[in-house]
Chain A
């Protein structure tokens, strides 16, 4: 069983550190990252590279959809599912 809270914290920490430059604004776990511009297309490349390296996995092109990456919760759920496979 993969520790969901651990994944969520890792994802949140990375996003908070790299994309939330205004630290007074806390990011909600269900907040849209792509729609609200928290992460732009260059940021998505950075995030994906980090997650692939951190969790030792490769994402297929078909998995690279906003449904899997649009919020901390969605990323966590996607990673958890992938790790449990």
Chain B
């Protein structure tokens, strides 16, 4: 086994060349579309995808979408604009708040939150968090944290029905964004670029028919640390590269670590790589600066999350297979990789 620090190191020039070539082939030949739509959040993944698509398809064939809603941070909008200017691509901004209001997203959220904190209202903010997986053998139970106008935070374990309602309402945000991306894709005969990295894709950190939907996903094979390497090579602005990965979902700033992974991405990457390559927990522990016991716990959690989120990856299940269509799908998938 090579040195731990080299596990995730990639040769960025050849990786970029490969991805650019495949994107061009997938969009133009397999999907037969003129260009690509990418929702930009000011985060590292969407920025890298936008840069890769611009290289692959030409700046005139890329449409970046900024899709803020009531709870979005102003940074997301500003950084998305900055990226579009740098890449010289078109940027359309659509505030999705009115759609979410119409779909009762905020109303349902408020009703769920008030089951736990009845005083929650105007001027309050929230986030949903999980305990760190490293602490002990604690159950992975979501907590709701709210912050009142005075800045004081309160946190409470979420009751089952309130949790389901809050998540269901919140998932409307990702689904509305995707619906809007396809609106523009249809208008311009473009394909929709999905932006998950390998951690998110592997661990099911996406919403079905929301950010999980796309026509192609050019960085789903790359660990998050590798996406950062590409970002640097692609000249993505430092402010985007230094920004903490967030969920862009709740009104209080929230990291992906707090909401889903229970571990910083650098350590999650190493653990996922170790797990995928059957590296003993003691060796991975050294690389990730964790204990063997903690890595064992993370290994188990990786396996568990894969099992639990399998349904997010599955296409609709049929009673009998329709072979004529299956054959076409398999052939297109094979063709998409034959550049």
Residues of A within 8 A of B (CB): 34-35, 37, 40-42, 44-46, 48-49, 61, 64-67, 69
| Alpha-carbon distance between A66 and B136 when the two chains are bound, in angstroms | 10
| Alpha-carbon distance between A7 and B157 when the two chains are bound, in angstroms | 24
Count contacts between A and B, CB distance < 8 Å.
48
Q: Of A37, A41, A49, which contacts B140 at CB under 8 A?
A: A41
Evaluate contact between B139 and A65: CB separation under 8 angstroms: yes
Evaluate contact between A35 and B137: CB separation under 8 angstroms: no
Residues of B within 8 A of A (CB): 136-142, 157-161, 163-164, 300, 304, 307-308
Evaluate contact between B304 and A44: CB separation under 8 angstroms: no
By a CB distance below 8 angstroms, the chain A residues around B304 are 34-35, 37, 40
Known: A37-B308, A61-B157. A45 touches B137 (CB 8 A): no
Evaluate contact between B138 and A42: CB separation under 8 angstroms: no
How near does chain A come to B209, taking the closest CB pair, in angstroms? 18
| Alpha-carbon distance between A65 and B140 when the two chains are bound, in angstroms | 9
Given A42-B160, A69-B139: 10 more A-B contacts, CB < 8 Å: A34-B304, A37-B304, A44-B140, A44-B141, A45-B160, A49-B160, A64-B138, A64-B141, A65-B137, A66-B138
Evaluate contact between A40 and B139: CB separation under 8 angstroms: no
By a CB distance below 8 angstroms, the chain A residues around B163 are 42, 45
| Alpha-carbon distance between A49 and B164 when the two chains are bound, in angstroms | 13
| Alpha-carbon distance between A40 and B160 when the two chains are bound, in angstroms | 12
Residue of A nearest to B131 (CB): A61
